[in-house]
Amino acid sequence: AQRVTQPEKLLSVFKGAPVELKCNYSYSGSPELFWYVQYSRQRLQLLLRHISRESIKGFTADLNKGETSFHLKKPFAQEEDSAMYYCALPASKLTFGTGTRLQVTL
C-alpha cells in the first residue's frame, strides 16, 4: 500500500535560516511525488513535483529512492513561506502526508 510520512507536525525557523521539511514514502512502483502548499485560508496548490526538477519560490526537492525520501528544502526561509506543506503521492488519488506547518519568525 502507498503511504507518505511527514514526521514533523510543526517546524519553526527564523527568517533567513535554512528549511528542510521531511517526507518519506512507501510505494511499490516507481514513484511520482508532489509537494502541495496551503497558505492561510487559501486552497491547496501544487508547489513542485519531482519529475519537473525545478525550483519554485526557492524550494527544491530531490527524490532519493534509496532512502525513499522526498525532502523539501529552501536555503533561506522567508516570512511568506509560513504555511502548511503536504507531501503527496499521486496514483488514482493523492495520498497525503499528515502535513508540516512551517512557521517563519523574525
Cell of 83: 504555511
Tell the smallest beta-carbon distance from residue 13 to other proteins (Å): 21
Binding of residue 90 to other proteins (CB under 8 A): yes
13, 19, 21, 34: residue in contact with other proteins (rule CB under 8 A) = 34
64, 65, 94, 103: residue in contact with other proteins (rule CB under 8 A) = 94
Alpha-carbon distance 23 to 65, whole Å? 12
Considering only residues 35 to 74 of the shown chain, the ones binding other proteins according to CB under 8 A are 42-46, 49, 51
Which part of the chain contacts other proteins (CB under 8 A), choosing from 17-25, 60-68, 70-78, 91-99? 91-99
Q: Which of residues 50 and 73 has its CB atom nearest to other proteins in the complex?
A: 50
- The residue whose grid cell reads 536555503 is 75
Give the CA count within 13 Å in the CB-facing half-sphere of 11: 23
Residue 10 vs residues 22, 36, 93, 106: alpha-carbon distances, Å = 11, 16, 25, 17
**Tell me, what amino acid is at 103?**
Q
Tell the smallest beta-carbon distance from residue 36 to other proteins (Å): 8
Alpha-carbon distance 71 to 14, whole Å? 19
Contacts to other proteins by CB under 8 A: 32, 34, 42-46, 49, 51, 86, 90-99
